[in-house]
Amino acid sequence: GAVVSQHPSRVICKSGTSVKIECRSLDFQATTMFWYRQFPKQSLMLMATSNEGSKATYEQGVEKDKFLINHASLTLSTLTVTSAHPEDSSFYICSARDPGFGNQPQHFGDGTRLSIL
Amino acid sequence: AQKVTQAQTEISVVEKEDVTLDCVYETRDTTYYLFWYKQPPSGELVFLIRRNSFDEQNEISGRYSWNFQKSTSSFNFTITASQVVDSAVYFCALSEEAQGAQKLVFGQGTRLTINP
């Protein structure tokens, strides 16, 4: 079964709306989670590293005020796209690794397809 | 900086043919991991394999096989006797350690179409 749950799977909303996406680790605690973005027919690009209890680390070119990340607990990271516009339409996907199994690869959520009208 | 190159943007073959997806990487790290993921049209990433930089043994899993060559910085993926269900976008990725976790650098992806 899924070890990383992402919700919602799809969002369609009007321009100017803020959208929150949740990423939960199931059955394990994740001090670090990652958020990726994928535009149509393109690769996945890391947006930011979400750190439990501290500020997220953003990749170059990603606006931290636009993409708010909160990692308030060891099992939940949220990505909020503030005042979303059509150019923010994309596929957002999170990942986490179970630190209890140090040699295991990270797990990905099923992704959130965001469409801004 | 880390970089992954998948030079083949799209590949189309007829069912039952063998197909190889190329992956070339760049890194200055001596310890790293390489991955292959499958992304079907539904969007989720399906983990296929992870390879440690110190383990150059080739691996076979059913119809899938991987050839890791550090000398050429390549980690190629071969599907034998391809099937229509293998149609997807395949990503090669390289890990970079970040605070004990692993953030991934992805290649551009190869869209594989298997025709009946």
The pair of structure tokens assigned to B49 is: 């394999």
**pLDDT (tens place) for every residue of chain B, 116 residues total:** 789 999 999 999 999 999 999 999 999 888 888 999 999 999 999 999 988 888 888 889 999 999 999 999 999 999 999 999 999 999 999 987 655 567 899 999 999 999 99
Residue A67 has pLDDT above 70, yes or no: yes
Tens of pLDDT, residue by residue over A13-57, are 999 999 999 999 998 888 889 999 999 999 999 999 998 888 999
CB of B54 within 8 Å of a chain A CB? The answer is no
The pLDDT confidence band at residue A102, using thresholds 50, 70 and 90, is low
Strands (E) in chain A, as ranges, are: 4-7, 10-13, 19-25, 32-38, 44-51, 57-58, 67-73, 76-81, 90-96, 107-108, 112-116
Residues facing residue A28 across a β-bridge: none
The pair of structure tokens assigned to B101 is: 């976790």
SS3 for B84?
A: helix
The whole-angstrom distance between B46's CA and the closest CA on chain A is 8
Q: Are A56 and A47 in contact (CB under 8 A)?
A: no
Q: How many CB pairs under 8 A join A and B?
A: 61
Per-residue model confidence (pLDDT) at position B97: 67
Q: Are A88 and A20 in contact (CB under 8 A)?
A: no
CB of B104 within 8 Å of a chain A CB? The answer is yes
Q: State the residue for tokens 């179409």.
A: B113
Chain B residues with CB-CB distance to A105 below 8 A: 33, 35, 47, 50, 102
Per-residue model confidence (pLDDT) at position B30: 85
Tens of pLDDT, residue by residue over A103-113, are 567 889 999 99
Please compute, for residue B78, the number of CA atoms within 13 A of its CA located in the half-sphere on the CB side. Answer: 12
Residue A64 has pLDDT above 70, yes or no: yes
DSSP B86: G
Tens of pLDDT, residue by residue over A68-92, are 999 989 999 999 999 999 999 999 9
What one-letter code names the amino acid at A95? S
Residue A2 has pLDDT above 80, yes or no: no
Q: State the residue for tokens 């949220």.
A: A78
Per-residue model confidence (pLDDT) at position A15: 97
Chain A residues with CB-CB distance to B108 below 8 A: 42-43
